């Protein structure tokens, strides 16, 4: 198992996610889904719920629940869309922006601490490799099954 790529990636992702959750979860009472939605809206600007799926790696149900919790905490606003009565434009409130700006420096510092054994060049190479693997997975999932 220690050389099986899917296992290594899943194990690293889960360990990283749990470590970062100690900051936004325990200290700020945000779930992983809420944090991902908050980050996506901060970095990408207002989005429809469906547009958050590829940005957050969450499914529709996780997004719906996360949005409801964030709205109940007054961290996001929902604006109905005139062209589609079922669609809502989501945006951060001033409180949502402030929370992101308070939490993100701590999350980034913790992320850097986890990579301390890698040189800056290795860190960038790791990011490039992970982006490449993710893109290749997306490309393969877009192709018809060739079995």
**Could you give the CA distance from residue 4 to residue 43 in angstroms, rounded to a whole number?**
33
Average pLDDT over residues 13-19: 90
Confidence grade of residue 1 (pLDDT, cut at 50, 70, 90): confident
DSSP 90-124: EEE-HHHHHHHHHHHHHHHHHHHHHTTTS-HHHHH
Residue 137 has pLDDT above 60, yes or no: yes
- What are the sequence ranges of the domains in the chain? 5-104, 111-147
Q: Domain 5-104 maps to which CATH number in 3.40.50.720, 3.90.75.20, 1.10.10.10, 3.40.50.2000?
A: 1.10.10.10
pLDDT of residue 119: 95
99 within 8 A of 28, measured Cβ to Cβ: yes
HSE of 26, CA atoms in CB hemisphere, 13 A = 8
16 within 8 A of 113, measured Cβ to Cβ: no
Average pLDDT over residues 111-123: 93
pLDDT tens readout for residues 74-106: 999 999 887 776 788 999 999 999 999 999 999
Residue 147 has pLDDT above 60, yes or no: no
Q: Which two tokens stand for residue 77?
A: 């606003």
Confidence grade of residue 139 (pLDDT, cut at 50, 70, 90): confident
pLDDT of residue 63: 95
pLDDT tens readout for residues 59-73: 999 999 999 999 999
Average pLDDT over residues 123-136: 93
The alpha carbon of 44 is separated from its chain's Cα centroid by a whole number of angstroms, namely: 12
Q: Which two tokens stand for residue 96?
A: 């949502």
What's this model's pTM, rounded to 2 decimal places? 0.85
pLDDT of residue 146: 47
């Amino acid at each position: 198992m220690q050389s099986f790529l899917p296992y290594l990636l899943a194990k690293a992702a889960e360990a990283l996610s749990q470590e970062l959750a100690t900051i936004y979860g325990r200290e700020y009472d945000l779930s992983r889904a809420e944090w991902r939605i908050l980050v996506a809206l901060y970095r990408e600007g207002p989005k429809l719920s469906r547009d958050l799926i590829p940005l957050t790696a969450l499914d529709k149900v996780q997004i719906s629940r996360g949005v409801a919790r964030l709205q109940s905490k007054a961290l996001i606003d929902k604006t109905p869309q005139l062209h589609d009565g079922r669609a809502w434009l989501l945006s951060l409130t001033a409180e949502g922006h402030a929370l992101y700006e308070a939490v993100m420096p701590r999350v980034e510092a913790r992320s850097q601490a986890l990579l301390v054994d890698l040189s800056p060049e290795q860190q960038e190479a790791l990011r490039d490799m992970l982006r490449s693997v993710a893109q290749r997975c997306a490309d393969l999932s877009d192709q018809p099954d060739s079995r």
